[in-house]
Amino acid sequence: MARILLGVSGGIAAYKALELVRLASAGGHEVRVVQTPTSRRFVGEASFQALTGAPVLVSEFERDPARGAFPGQRPPTHEPLSHLELVANAEVYLIAPASANTIAKLAAGLADNLLCSCALAATCPVLVAPAMNNHMYEHASTQANLQVLRERGVEVLLENIPNQLSSAERLLTFLELTHLKMNFCLDAGHANMKEGVSTAYTILKGRIRSTHLHDNNGKEDSHLFPFFSEGGTIDWKNTMELLRPGVCFA
């Protein structure tokens, strides 16, 4: 199971992050949440705290009662810099929803709030799920900023549905597969590849309605499956593409 740090920025889609936290926690993942001040206008810290069982941080200057530890971890005996310790313990950092303002800050390398500071300090995979008005999303500035993030190795998720955060199941699947790719080496030639591929198959089988995927019109598109090559490895690029909009989840 993964230690997931969730960064929540301001936007009406912030409330959907609650379902993601609920599913991730129920699935055995350890979750911590950081919020931007604006996101508190949509969802308060108490809601995330109730679901994670851990403190929620908004400012890099506030004390973290858990001292950067995730649920299930033993806090350090010293008093570390909370935001640096928290992101150092994370195995995956997902920013969802990522507003146009937050995306611009990330692309510029700004660190004027806790969420952005964590992104700069992160050594784990960083994923960004844009959610904003379609005109803001289509603006040349936003598209240029997303391209900058992609070039820096940030995984930009669910780009074709900017008005809303996609289903919590889809986001959680991205997170779990990203964690598997990092820890289990899903490419051929690695000793623990077989275990990782088996786990990935279990995740996908549990979330996809059948062995056939469907497009937005509900038409069967069987050539999209399987996710796995004949050699028994996962087709990583194809899998991540198939999890983008248009795939029906159970």
Residue ranges covered by each domain of the chain = 3-166, 185-242
The terminus-to-terminus CA distance of the chain in angstroms comes to 22
Is the separation of the CB atoms in 20 and 169 below 8 Å? Answer: no
pLDDT tens per residue, the chain (250 residues)? 789 999 999 988 898 899 999 999 998 999 999 999 999 999 999 999 999 999 999 998 889 999 999 998 998 888 887 668 999 999 999 999 999 999 999 999 999 999 999 999 999 989 999 988 889 999 999 999 999 999 999 988 865 544 455 578 778 877 777 777 666 554 445 555 566 556 665 666 555 543 333 444 444 333 333 444 545 555 556 665 555 443 333 2
> pTM for this structure?
0.79
Q: Which residue, 38, 34, 41, 138, is CA-closest to 90? A: 34
Q: Residue 77: what pLDDT?
A: 86
Helices (H), the chain: 16-26, 45-52, 82-89, 100-108, 114-121, 134-138, 140-151, 168-184, 193-207, 236-242
CATH homologous superfamily for the domain 3-166:
Flavin prenyltransferase-like (3.40.50.1950)
Burial class (CB in 10 A: 0-12, 13-18, 19+), 232: exposed
Q: Which residues of 134-145 are buried (b: 16+ CB within 10 A; e: fewer)?
A: eebbeeeebeeb
Does residue 105 sit in helix, strand or coil? helix
